[in-house]
């Protein structure tokens, strides 16, 4: 979808690994993926997903904490 310029929505449980806290569920609308870390740049490269949100700019979320995508519930 990002390659075609089509924004998507998703939700995830927030998590701050630095202090082990969460701000609860985050809802993101009109997002697109962005380039993430390479394996040699971060130990979390395979689970930390970069996205751009019109409201907040460049952000990250942990893939295992993804809850929904375009209104569909994600079941791990």
| pLDDT tens for each residue of the chain, 76 residues long | 999 999 999 999 999 999 999 999 999 999 999 988 899 999 889 999 999 998 889 999 999 999 999 999 999 8
What's the CA gap between 27 and 60, in Å, rounded? 13
Q: Where are the domains of the chain?
A: 8-68
Contact partners, residue 14, CB within 8 Å, separation at least 6: 22, 23, 24, 25, 26, 61, 65
Element (H, E) at 59: strand 57-62
Residues of the chain with pLDDT > 70: what percent? 100
Task: With 0.85 as the threshold, say if the pTM is over it.
Answer: yes
Q: Which two tokens stand for residue 58?
A: 């460049």
What's the CA gap between 54 and 22, in Å, rounded? 22
Biggest alpha carbon–alpha carbon distance for the chain:
37
């Amino acid at each position: 979808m990002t390659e075609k310029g089509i924004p998507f929505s998703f939700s995830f449980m927030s998590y701050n690994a630095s202090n082990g806290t969460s701000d609860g569920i985050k809802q993101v609308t009109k997002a697109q993926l962005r380039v993430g870390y390479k394996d040699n740049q971060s130990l979390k490269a395979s689970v930390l997903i970069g996205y751009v949100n019109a409201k907040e700019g460049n952000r990250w979320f942990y893939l295992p904490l993804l809850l929904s995508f375009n209104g569909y519930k994600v079941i791990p």
